[in-house]
Amino acid sequence: MSLRASLIGLVALANLAVFGAGLFWTRQAEERVDAQRTLARTDLLGTLVGTLVDARGDLRSAALLRWDRWDEWFEDVQIAHFPDLDDPARPALGLRLDPLGTARRAPGHDEEEVLAAMRSAATEGRRVQVAGGVALPVVLPDGRSWGGCWLRSRGAAGDGFLQRLLPWFIASTLVLTLATFSLVRGLVLEPVQRLARAADRIGRGDLGARAGTTARRDELGQLVTQFDRMAEEVQGFQERLEHEVAEATAQARSAEAAAMTQRRLAATGELAAGVAHEINNPLGGLVNAVEVLGREDTTPERRAEYLALVRTGLERIRVTVGRLLRLAPRETATTRLSLGEPVQDALGLVAHRASEAGVVISVGPLEGPLGPHAEPSSRALLASLPALDGQPNELGQAVLNLLVNALDSLESSGGGSIEVRVGAEGDALVVEVADDGPGASPEVLERAGDAFFTTKDPGRGTGLGLAMVHGVAAAHGGRLLLQSEEGAGFRARLVLAQGGPA
């Protein structure tokens, strides 16, 4: 229900309550007056009849009927003379008179009951209520009982008081209701409605909404003024907040771009380290082979042998450069690919370093036995993985970072083993890299994915490796899960959605 309807109803109810109480009190007073009037009229009628009875006991009916108060005071009257009141054994009815006639009498009027009541009133000298009226004795001036009369006084049982007052009651209620509402509408309702409309617009985002100026100086005027002032402050705060958010967003994007650059530089460094390990070894053999081939005393058989070594070394360098190109940081479009390709390239880039560090790398499914990392067997396992939508260079860098982190932790302890498990779990693909190194404390594990956080010696780590892996996982609709305990190794699970980036 609207405030307007509620206010009209409240005012109307208040006026109805006031007038209803007044009507009830007036009606009670009128009923008391009617009762007193009826008592006086009955006494007067009984006395009048008694004075019109002559010495022989005859009633002068003509004089009685000429009385001018019959229609004004009474609705119905009956008068009866009982000559045998002194001899109850011989009941008889003398005169019976109906001054107002019988035509207007109700159809159910019981004559015998009324006569019996009048006889009882005359005999016992008391009033008797009967047939909606009252029977009373008629006593002569000398004190003898002559008979009885029965009457219904006009106004005692309702005289149209409510019918006469009701139109005025309704009219006054309507006038007072409209007058009160008009006054309250200007003083209260209109300012409150303006406040409600302005608050509703502000709630929907229109911070420029106002309740409007007012010249009033009462409480509602102060409320409207304070509301508009508050709305102006909220609007100003919103504008300042939007400006500050825009500045903070720009700074965050700038910091994110700088961090991404650092991550890519870190990834490039990891690639360079892998390439250096893979190229330096065959390159040293190539230099020796070229020196031997340049000697004049080299026999044809030996020359053919060293040419074969040069060809093998160059092929190894070519394969390494190909892996480098596939994993080099660059912007690439998402494509459908086998996860085994970037995983295999990452394994190839760390194979030589792992061999020199005395680290054994094993590859196997998520559930099942592991085997030593060997090109044919691991490639067959990785090729069996379901395809996904992704960026091969980003995925290769992520797996390479996980392998390099494991190698870094194992090199400081003089060797160990790395387990690489791959497979599908529901709608996701999983690459798990676990080592048996020194592990990490809960405090270190909690911050391991933070950018620029590292436990490596200065110059050996940037703290961006795992942060980059987190970013790659999120970009491919997945996540990176880390698990470790001090002295119990480190386990990283790269979970990727088969559907690719969200």
User: Residue written as tokens 């370093």?
Assistant: 353
86 sits in which H/E element:
none
Which DSSP category does 59 fall into? Answer: B
pLDDT beyond 60 at 334: yes
- Among candidates 461, 450, 501, which has minimal Cα distance to 478? 501
Sheet of 479-484: strand order equals 371-372, 359-365, 416-425, 428-435, 490-497, 479-484
> Which amino acid is residue 419, in one-letter code?
E
What residues pair up with 149 in beta bridges, in sequence order? Answer: 79, 136
* pLDDT tens string 390-437: 888 888 888 888 888 888 888 877 778 999 999 888 888 999 999 988
Amino acid 161: pLDDT? 56
Look at residue 430 and tell me if it is in a domain: yes
Q: For the residues 101-115, what does the mean pLDDT come to?
A: 83
Task: Give the rounded percent of residues in the chain with a pLDDT score beyond 70.
Answer: 74
Tokens representing residue 225 in the block: 């003024």
The C-alpha atoms of residue 408 and residue 267 are separated, in whole angstroms, by 15
467, part of any domain:
yes
Residue 19's CB is within 10 A of a number of other CB atoms, namely 17
Tell me the pairing of strands 490-497 and 387-390. unpaired
CB 79 within 8 Å of CB 99: yes
pLDDT tens-digit series, residues 178-196:
777 777 766 677 777 778 8
As a whole number of angstroms, the distance between CA 264 and CA 165 comes to 97
- Residue at 412 is within a domain: yes
Assign residue 272 the CATH number of its domain. 3.30.565.10
Residue 43 pLDDT exceeds 60: yes
Domain span including residue 81: 3-162
Same domain, 28 and 146: yes
Is the CB of residue 118 less than 8 Å from the CB of residue 149?
yes
The residue from 112, 144, 162 where one domain ends is: 162
Judged by DSSP in three states, 21 sits in helix
Could you tell me if 491 and 482 are in contact, meaning their C-beta atoms sit under 8 angstroms apart? yes
For the chain, give the percent of residues with pLDDT over 90: 1
Tokens of 333: 């479009």
Same domain, 40 and 145: yes
Q: Locate 112 and state its tokens.
A: 């015998």
Backbone φ and ψ for 433, nearest 5 degrees, come out as: -120, 120
pLDDT of residue 375: 57
pLDDT at 313 over 60: yes
Least confident of 105-114, 348-357, 370-379, 434-443: 370-379
- Calpha distance 395→464 (Å, rounded): 15
Q: Are 273 and 154 in a shared domain?
A: no
Are 158 and 272 contained in the same domain?
A: no
- 336 and 481 in a single domain? The answer is yes
336 found inside a domain: yes
pLDDT at position 236 = 84
pLDDT greater than 50 at residue 156: no
At 459 the pLDDT is: 44
User: In terms of domains, do 153 and 263 share one?
Assistant: no
Say which range, 80-89, 240-249, 339-348, 397-406, has the weakest mean pLDDT: 80-89
Within a domain: residue 67? Answer: yes
Are residue 264 and residue 138 in the same domain, yes or no?
no
Per-residue CA distances from 366 to 383, 403, 433 (Å): 15, 17, 11
Same domain, residue pair 365 and 484: yes
**pLDDT at 458 exceeding the cut of 50:** no
CA angle 116, 119, 125 (to 5 degrees): 130
Using the CB atoms, write b or e for 138-165: b if 16+ within 10 Å. bbeeeeebbbbbbbbbbbbeeeeeeeeb
- Mean pLDDT (the chain) is 76
Residue whose pair of structure tokens reads 């409207």 in the numeric block:
224
**Same domain assignment for residues 155 and 284:** no
How many separate domains does the chain show? 2
Predicted confidence band at 103 (pLDDT cuts at 50, 70, 90)?
Answer: confident
| Mean pLDDT calculated for residue range 192-216 | 80
| pLDDT band at residue 159 using 50, 70 and 90 as cut-offs | very low
pLDDT at 272 over 80: no
Question: Would residue 242 count as lying in a domain?
Answer: no
Does residue 417 lie within any of the structural domains?
Answer: yes
pTM confidence score:
0.41
Last-in-domain residue among 117, 134, 162: 162
Distances (CA, A) of 397 to 120, 392, 404, 502: 125, 9, 10, 20
C-beta neighbour count of 346 within 10 angstroms: 29
Integer-rounded Cα radius of gyration of the chain = 59
Burial environment of residue 201 by CB neighbours within 10 A (0 to 12, 13 to 18, 19 or more): middle
Q: Among candidates 214, 213, 212, 209, which has minimal Cα distance to 231?
A: 209
Say if residue 24 is in the same domain as residue 153: yes
pLDDT of residue 432: 92
239: tokens are 């504008």
Six token digits for residue 442: 């809960």
Of 81-90, 270-279, 307-316, 356-365, give the lowest mean pLDDT range.
Answer: 270-279
Site of tokens 């998520």: 366
Strands, E assignment, 173-271: none
181 in any annotated domain = no
The tokens describing 367, both together, are: 């559930």
* Domain match, 142 and 269 both: no
Tell whether the model's pLDDT for residue 274 goes beyond 60: no
CATH number for 58 = 3.30.450
Per-residue model confidence as pLDDT tens digits over 231-262: 888 888 878 888 889 888 888 888 777 766 66
Same domain for 335 and 457?
Answer: yes
- Given 147, 162, 177, the domain boundary residue is 162
Residue with tokens 């009628």: 45
